[in-house]
Amino acid sequence: MNDERQFDHTPDPVLGDALRTALRPPGNDAAFVARVMARYDATLAAGTVPTWEVLARWARPGIAAALALAVIGGFVLGRSLPPGAESDESATVEAAIVPASGPGLAALVTAAAPPDASIVLTSLVEPQ
């Protein structure tokens, strides 16, 4: 019962006996064996494992399939939108970087001389 034995590579008989006693299940093993064998024919006839295990085994593939379906569905839905919706979105992005008047954002950031701060702020803040 000391610390040196805690990393032992051999089972501890004292602890093992105590645990075996503590985990002694109620009822004898014969009754348990009879209970299992009572389902022998039905299990073989079904030719499958109990339902819960089938469900557990298919849980992860099921979730993955659902995610894949959701992605494909989203893609198909996006493709089926009217073309006007997509062009409106791209027009909005272009409008955001090309102001209605003035030198424009691209010209400001690529200019050799630093721009006047008021021009930059105006081109960024000014409503289109």
Partner 1 sequence: MPADLPPLPPFPPSPQPPGGAARIEAAELVARAVEGDRGAFGLLVERYAAQARRVAQAVLGDPDDADDAAQDGFLSALVKLSQYDPRRPFGPWLMRIVANAAADRRRRMRVRRAEPLDPSLVGGGPRPDAEAVRSELGARLRAALGELTPRRRAAVVLFDVEGYSHAEIGEILGVPEGTVRSEVFHARRRLRALLADWKGA
Residues that bind partner 1 (CB under 8 A): 1, 3, 5-7, 9, 11-12, 14-16, 18-27, 29-30, 32-33, 35-37, 39-40, 43-44, 47-50, 52-53, 56
Q: Which is nearer to partner 1, 22 or 109 (CB)?
A: 22
Q: Which is nearer to partner 1, 39 or 103 (CB)?
A: 39
Give the span between the Cα atoms of 82 and 87, in whole angstroms.
Answer: 9
CB of 67: closest distance to partner 1 in angstroms?
21
Sign, CA dihedral 107-108-112-118, equals positive
- Of the pair 11, 127, the CB lying nearest partner 1 is at 11
How many of the other CB atoms lie within 10 Å of CB of 123? 20
33 contact partners, CB below 8 Å, separation of at least 6: none
Q: Which is nearer to partner 1, 3 or 94 (CB)?
A: 3
The nearest distance, CB 61 to partner 1, in angstroms, is 16
Residues 102 and 122: beta-carbon distance below 8 Å: yes
